[in-house]
Each structure stands twice: as C-alpha cells, then as structure tokens.
C-alpha cells in the first residue's frame, strides 16, 4: 500500500501526550482496484492501514511495536482520490505502552475512528 503523508503537523502538548495531523490522498492502486471493479471503495482494513501507517510515521517513542486494535469503527466510505486526513493523539497508557487515538476524515465526515495500542520492549 502506498501511503504518503503530506502536510504533516506534529507538536508536543505534554510529555505524556502528543498530537499529529497527516493528510493522505486515498489511493486505490491498480492492485486494489481489482476487488470490486464495479464499485471502487477503499476496504475498511485499508483505512485501518492508513491509521496504522500514520501512527508509525509519528511515534511518541522509538522502538514501539503494534500490539492491538482496542477498537475501530468504520463510519463512512472512502473513495479513490479522496483526501483522507488522519488526526492522531498519543496517550501514554502504561510504563512502556502508548495508545494512539486516531480518526480518518474525508470532506464528508469521519470515515473511521480507532484506538491503536503500541508497546515497547518492556511490555513484550
């Protein structure tokens, strides 16, 4: 999957929290156009992949590993060529554990929201 972040803005709010905003142009590549050629909509897991890639592009600490999707809700469709803005807030949820609260939005509203959990070496 080709995930290219643009216009990324990152600023620390406090030592235990951090926010970032990343804008992607949703691409349904030739490969991914194959699933439903008559109805090209980005599969939900691809939206999840944008959230994951955004989180891992702007981690709150080095060496974190994706551990869990505590929750994800898919609220609207995303179509090829649409701009997808990911808003991400990191919260420390354990000694070596961080939770990324992420939403993916199109001009039509929120497409998905998720809580992604990452752990460092100590929690593996």
Partner 1 sequence: MIELDGVRQLLPRRRPMLLVDRVLEVVPGERIVAAKAVTCNEPWYARLPEGTPAERLGYPSALVIESWGQAAGILSRLSGELPEGMMLLAGMSDVLVHRTVLPGVLLEHRARIVRSLGDHLIFEGESVVDGDTMVSIGRMVMAFRPESALLPPDGDGR
Q: Which two tokens stand for residue 46?
A: 């691809």
**Residue 36 contacts by C-beta under 8 Å, 6 or more apart in sequence?**
none
5, 8, 17, 32: which one binds partner 1 (CB under 8 A):
32
Shortest distance, CB of residue 47 to partner 1, whole angstroms? 9
Q: In the complex with partner 1, which residue's Cβ is closer, 13 or 66?
A: 66
Cα separation of 88 and 3, whole Å? 16
Which 34-93 residues touch partner 1, going by CB under 8 A?
34-37, 39, 41, 43-46, 48-49, 52, 66-74, 77, 79, 82
Q: In the complex with partner 1, which residue's Cβ is closer, 61 or 68?
A: 68
**Residue 28 contacts by C-beta under 8 Å, 6 or more apart in sequence?**
40, 41, 42, 46, 79, 80
Query: Judging by DSSP bridges, how do beta strands 83-94 and 109-119 pair with one another?
Result: unpaired
With beta carbons less than 8 A apart as the criterion, state whether 50 and 86 touch: yes
Which 9-28 residues touch partner 1, going by CB under 8 A?
none
Q: In the complex with partner 1, which residue's Cβ is closer, 10 or 71?
A: 71
Cα separation of 43 and 77, whole Å? 8
Shortest distance, CB of residue 11 to partner 1, whole angstroms? 28
Residues of the shown chain interacting with partner 1 in the complex, contacts defined by CB under 8 A: 1, 31-32, 34-37, 39, 41, 43-46, 48-49, 52, 66-74, 77, 79, 82, 107-108
């Amino acid at each position: 999957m080709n995930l290219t972040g643009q216009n990324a803005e990152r600023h620390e709010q406090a030592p235990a929290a951090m926010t970032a905003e990343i804008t992607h142009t949703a691409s349904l590549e030739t490969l991914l156009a194959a699933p439903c050629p008559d109805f090209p909509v980005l599969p939900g897991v691809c939206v999840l992949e944008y959230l994951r890639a955004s989180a891992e592009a702007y981690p709150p600490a080095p060496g974190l590993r994706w551990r869990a999707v505590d929750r994800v809700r898919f609220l609207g469709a995303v179509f090829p060529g649409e701009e997808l803005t990911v808003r991400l807030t990191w919260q420390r949820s354990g000694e070596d554990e961080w939770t990324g609260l992420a939403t993916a939005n199109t001009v039509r509203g929120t497409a998905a929201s998720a809580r992604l959990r990452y752990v460092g070496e100590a929690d593996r």
